[in-house]
Amino acid sequence: SAGPALAVLAPGVDRATVEHTGHLLVREPASRWGVRSYAERGPVWSPRNYWRGPVWANLTWLCALGFELHGETERAEALRAQVLRFAEEAGMREYADPRTGHGLGARRFSWTAALTLRVLAEQGAREQLPSNSDGPS
């Protein structure tokens, strides 16, 4: 299950746990569209069965937030990019098949839309920052 990956949301998590979680998400339960809810090699894995394998934008975003909280900016950015890929390729769906990115579950799902807008807004805010330390001219 991807549940242990959410340990990075806890304040005060030791560096080893953050690193282990980062390595875990590069392998399984990683997917091109985000964090799988369950590893493919698991005994009850099913790519279309709710929390038994599909990718969820909210789970991916929460993992990104956790890495950001622990200073793992590159990992957080990579996960946020997966949230955008999910939205672009699966649409505003509840979850997606981790092998194909095909959107599943409810259509026009609000948390997928909300998290997509948040990631886009955060990207826009970062792009507006001055590129040098002197500030705007």
**Helix, strand or coil, per DSSP, at residue 54:** coil
Q: What is the DSSP string of 61-125?
A: HHHHHHHHHTT-HHHHHHHHHHHHHHHHHH-S-SEE-TTT--EESSSS-HHHHHHHHHHHHHHHH
Q: How far apart are CA 82 and CA 87, in angstroms?
A: 9
Report the predicted TM-score, pTM, of the whole model to 2 decimal places: 0.85
pLDDT in tens, 46-78: 988 888 899 999 999 999 999 999 999 999 999
CA 40 to chain centre: 17
pLDDT in tens, 87-131: 999 999 999 999 999 999 999 999 999 999 999 999 887 776 565
Residue with tokens 């807004």, as numbered in its chain: 121
Q: How far apart are CA 116 and CA 14, in angstroms?
A: 29
Local confidence band at 25 (pLDDT 50, 70, 90 cut-offs)? confident
∠ Cα 116 7 83 (to 5°): 15
More confident residue, 73 or 26: 73
